[in-house]
Every structure is written in C-alpha cells, then in structure tokens.
Amino acid sequence: MAAKIQSPVNFLSTSELNRYAELRSDEKWIEKKMKSPSALFIPVYNNKNLFKNSLQPKHEPEINPNPVLLPYSEINKIKNESQLIYFLGEIGDKYYFAVNYNSENEEVEQSLLKLGSLDDLRRIMSLMNPVNASLLAYARALSHWHSQNKYCSLCGTKTKSAASGHKLVCDNKACSFETFPRTDPAIIVLISKGNKCLLARQKHWPRGQYSNIAGFVEPGESLELAVKREVFEETGVLVNNILYHSSQPWPFPGSLMIGFHASAENFNISPHDNELEDVRWFTRQMIIKGLSDKTLRFPFPISVSFKLIEHWFNKSGKVKLRSLIK
C-alpha cells in the first residue's frame, strides 16, 4: 500500500544529477572540472538567480524562463573578493557549479545585469524546465546556507568554505568547528475521512486558496508524531494510519517538505492555535464546483501539496484534478 503511492521525484529535485559527494574534497579534481569547457556556473546574487528572459510583473513570458549558465572565462571577468564557488554535480557530461556573490556589490550586480535579469526563483520556477529549476534551487539553498553562517556559532570567528562549498570550518585553529548544510524537515499531510478531505487556508494567501496542513518537525519528534501534533494543534482533528507519500525540497530558504496521507478519526474541527484563517472538509463535488467557478484555488501543480490532493482526488470518480486546473 505505502509503496504504491510513492512518487518518484518531485519538482525541485532531479534524479539526473550525480552529486559526486565523494569527490568534493578532492581539490585537484574539482579544479580540473571547474576549468574544463564542460563546466557551467550558476550565479547567485543576494539569494536571487540570473535568468535570460525573466518575468515582468504584469507580463507573461512568451517562452519559458531559462537560467544564465556561465563558462569559467566569464565568471573570471566578474570576480570579486566575496565570490564563492560550490560544486553541485554532473548531468550528461556537464559539470555544474554555483557561484555565490556573498555580499551586495554594485559592480558585480551591474556585471550580472548585463547578462540577464536577477529574480526570485520562487516566483518563476513553475514555468521552468524541471532540471534547470532543481539546479537553481540547489545553488540558491547552498548559497543561502553560506550567507547565514559567515561566522562560527561557537567562537564567532569567520568560517571558511571547504569540500567545495559543502562544509564550513571555523578559521580559529583552536576551535576548528565544522558545520554542514542543514535542511529543516517539515511535514505536509492530506487528511481524509470517508469521501471528504480536510483543507485549510492562511490569512495572507490569495483569496479562495486552500491547501494541506503543514508544519515544522520539532527536536526529538518523529515525522509521524509531528503529523499528529500539527493536525491536532491546527484543526483539533485526531489522525491515524499515517502513510508516506513523497517529499520535495523547498529551499525558501531551507526546508524539506515531507508529504503524508492520514485518516481522520473525527470530523469535528476545533483549532487549538490561531495559525489558520479557515479549516474545512471538502468533498470531490465541492472541489469540482469551487475550481470551476474559481471560488477555490490550489497550490501550483508542481508542489507536493497539490500532488497529495491530486492523489486523493483521483482515487475515485472519473474527473482528474489536473483537468480542472486552468
């Protein structure tokens, strides 16, 4: 049962990437790859990615936004002291690196703007090729981790990048504390009972938008207990039969969404906190009606939250959820 509902790879992650984790600390190998014609560099500036053809606020793009991928010669031209290079991995004989401009610099910004437009990946990603989106997400996540860890958390000395960006080491010899890129696990769960599923909305979301219950896993807590706790806190509903569905990196700035299905023990909604503006039970008919008359909206189809709703919705009835999304 559990194996059947596992999705292979969700958007923002790609099975095509060979990360070569075992070679990250081999400086000679990294340098050789970095300077080879097959190396491509993904610039990250101030948590923004660089696009050839970005979205203007009120204009839809005619073609999908493509990232600017630079050769080694090009990144050398915009070199500055805050530039850090991280090895990401290989796809089809191309070696991908992130080049992070770690602090704001007018000159660097102007050089990058001559090559494309800087934009927030989150705003654009749903229109992108999935492999490109996952590479940019990876580059952004690693760059963000570096920008948050410039100083040692034990002694306050500056940290130094190691293992081609996959480790930070305290520069104080007496301390030498090592830190590794962190990911914050968050559960997201589709709750169902009978022919209904439980969805909720937050106050700041677009009008009519509903999604699954989600929340961060706490220290000393298992994923299953985080599901039970979050659902109970936010809705007052007790759940059991918790089954893993699939996961999705969500590097805004550093989460991993871990998707589940769960069965509700009761229909009674009585939230214990004020995180949500509304929680309600939906039948498939209510979803069909809401999506058709546009009083209901769901998250982007690339998201694990949509996939969870879709998996439940498509299990019975002839209408497929994607056919209702315009």
Cβ 171 to Zn ion shortest distance, Å: 8
Closest of 241, 245, 182, 176 to residue 214, by C-alpha: 245
Nearer of residues 103 and 157 to Zn ion, judged by Cβ: 157
Cβ 150 to Zn ion shortest distance, Å: 12
Tokens of 247: 């996961």
Alpha helices for 90-201 (secondary structure H) = 106-113, 121-124, 130-148
Q: Is position 309 an interface residue for Zn ion (rule: CB under 5 A)? A: no
Q: Give the Cα separation of 140 and 120 in Å (integer).
A: 10
Cβ 165 to Zn ion shortest distance, Å: 19
Nearer of residues 129 and 176 to Zn ion, judged by Cβ: 176
Site string for Zn ion, 147-176 (x = CB under 5 A): -----x-xx-x------------x-x--x-
Q: Is position 287 an interface residue for Zn ion (rule: CB under 5 A)? A: no
Q: Is position 244 an interface residue for Zn ion (rule: CB under 5 A)? A: no
3-class SS letters over 13-82: CCCCCECCHHHCCCHHHHHHHHCCCCEEEEEEECCEEEECCCCECCECCCCCCCECCECHHHHHHCCCCC
8 Å CB contact between 98 and 86: yes
Nearer of residues 145 and 282 to Zn ion, judged by Cβ: 145
Nearer of residues 84 and 175 to Zn ion, judged by Cβ: 175
Cβ 153 to Zn ion shortest distance, Å: 8
| Contact footprint for Zn ion (CB under 5 A) | 152, 154-155, 157, 170, 172, 175, 177
